[in-house]
């Protein structure tokens, strides 16, 4: 069975990493960092948007900035269908 991450990659999802900077609620002059990583679709980033909506709705630390990096790990030219199966012990 293929993993869910591999299946998502075949559907066009790529690995998305967001560096989220936010202010501490009790100490607003201090900025903290949170790293979020998930498979997501470029350029809309629906999964990241859902997470950021949750953050703004439910968490006390106000967002300062979000930096996003995205990479499609599997590209169409890298995938070939074969008609053979090889078993390794």
**Does residue 86 sit within a domain?**
no
First to last CA, the chain: 17
Q: Count how many domains the chain has.
A: 1
**Does residue 83 sit within a domain?**
no
**Does residue 89 sit within a domain?**
no
pTM here? 0.78
Strands (E) in the chain, as ranges, are: 14-23, 31-40, 63-71
Domain boundaries, position 50 = 4-76
**Does residue 85 sit within a domain?**
no
Residue 3 pLDDT greater than 90, yes or no: no
**Does residue 57 sit within a domain?**
yes
**Does residue 72 sit within a domain?**
yes
Q: Which of residues 36 and 75 earns the better pLDDT score?
A: 36
Percent with pLDDT over 70 in the chain: 85
């Amino acid at each position: 069975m293929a993993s869910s991450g591999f299946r998502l990659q075949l559907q066009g999802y790529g690995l998305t990493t967001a560096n989220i900077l936010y202010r501490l609620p009790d100490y607003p002059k201090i900025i903290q960092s949170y790293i979020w990583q998930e498979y997501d679709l470029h350029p809309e980033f629906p999964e990241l948007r859902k997470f950021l909506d949750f953050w703004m709705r439910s968490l006390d630390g106000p967002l300062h900035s979000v930096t996003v990096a995205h990479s499609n790990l599997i590209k169409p030219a890298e995938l070939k269908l074969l008609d053979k199966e090889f078993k390794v012990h």
